Amino acid sequence: MNPWQPPAALHDADIEAADRLLDQADALLRRHRSGSDAPVQPVDADDLPILTDVVDEDEIDLAALTPLSPAAPSPPAAETPPAPVATPPAPPPPAATAVAPVPSFHDLLTEHLIELDTELTREIETWLDRELPQMVARELDAFGERLHRQALEHLRTTLLPRLSDRIAAHLDGQRQDD
């Protein structure tokens, strides 16, 4: 079995039951492959085909894939052989069909995480579409108010004294003319 173990939060009774069921199914398949109840040597994982492996039809041994029928009893010897019966030609052997393997826990977990990632991404995008414009508007309003205050303070500290000096000089010039 795969040495990878799921995190403790994901390891529950359902997963254990599924693992037991998969182990039983694997043992049953191994027993039928060997043709007896004798223990079967473990299969090297490198020898197992992967779903993405390309299988050449010429390499397939169809006799090994089709179940053998039990041997029929031989007919009693007769004095005259039976007349040959015309049999239609056998159809060509069907192309090997790929049987979808039972997904492993790792595959199921990966699929679940991809779905979760997609769901979270959609939720984040929805939240940003709804909340970000309001946040930007508040920040721009606050920036505008802060800029206005700073401009008024700067005006009071730099421009007003110069304007006051000019007005005072102008008034002083009018008083001297009188």
Instruction: Return the number of other C-beta atoms located less than 10 Å from residue 6's C-beta.
Output: 12
Taking only the tens place, the pLDDT of each residue in 27-85 is: 777 776 665 555 555 555 555 555 565 656 666 555 555 555 555 555 555 555 555 55
30 within 8 A of 39, measured Cβ to Cβ: no
Handedness of CA 142, 147, 152, 154 (dihedral sign): positive
Please work out, in degrees rounded to the nearest 5, the angle formed at the alpha carbon of residue 49 by the alpha carbons of 43 and 53: 165
- Let me know: does 21 contact 1? Beta carbons within 8 Å: no
pLDDT score of 87: 66
pLDDT at 20: 79
- DSSP strands (E only) in the chain: none
Three-state DSSP state, 40: coil
Please give the span between the terminal C-alpha atoms of the chain, in angstroms, as a whole number. 111
In percent, how much of the chain has pLDDT > 90?
Answer: 34
pLDDT-derived band at 134 (thresholds 50, 70, 90) equals very high
Distance of CA 129 to the CA centre of its chain: 25
Nearest by Cα to 160 from 171, 173, 151, 147: 151
Could you tell me if 55 and 49 are in contact, meaning their C-beta atoms sit under 8 angstroms apart?
yes
Contacts of residue 33, Cβ cutoff 8 Å, sequence gap at least 6: 40
